[in-house]
Amino acid sequence: MKVEKLCNFYASKYHLSIILLEYLKEKKTKKYNVISFLQEELEDEINVLAQKYKFDEELIKDIDFKVTKDIYKKELNELKNTIFIVQGNLQYIREANDYIVDSLKNNINVKIVNCYNFAHQKLYMKDIIAKSDKILFTTGEKIID
């Protein structure tokens, strides 16, 4: 299994939402399964931005942007070409990543996008970046050198 880890630092839920909408538009999620693990709900922000900027609703209609109350109850089947969106504090993100990797040992082409609130995680940015393959910005993915 190849797991590519991306990190993202956001300033607000609207900032995160626009980054995710642009990323999903770029990835044209019809080729990917998208599964979210969210400690904070993003549904309202996603819907407001999708309507305001006329994003293709087909790209996001099957993605759950509500809070994931119990990481371990989210069913993960054998999926290929999957993007996981994980948002929360350090412990939540670590638990979700461990669950994803343990559950999907045979999958290929898995991306995990770990989203961190900048204000809460700025002291740990260096460590977070060191453990990631790429950084996700509004303009897309950038390989970490």
pLDDT tens digits, one per residue of 29-56: 667 889 999 999 999 999 999 999 888 8
* Token pair recorded at residue 89: 């504090």
pLDDT at 97: 95
Strands 3-10, 140-143: parallel, antiparallel or unpaired by DSSP?
Answer: unpaired
Tens of each residue's pLDDT in the chain, 145 residues? 688 999 999 999 999 999 999 999 888 766 788 999 999 999 999 999 999 988 888 888 889 999 999 999 888 876 778 899 999 999 999 999 999 988 887 666 789 999 999 999 889 999 999 999 999 998 889 998 7
Rounded-to-integer distance, Cα 23 and Cα 114, Å? 13
- Cα dist. 106→1, 30, 76, 109 in Å? 6, 21, 12, 10
Rounded-to-integer distance, Cα 127 and Cα 144, Å? 13
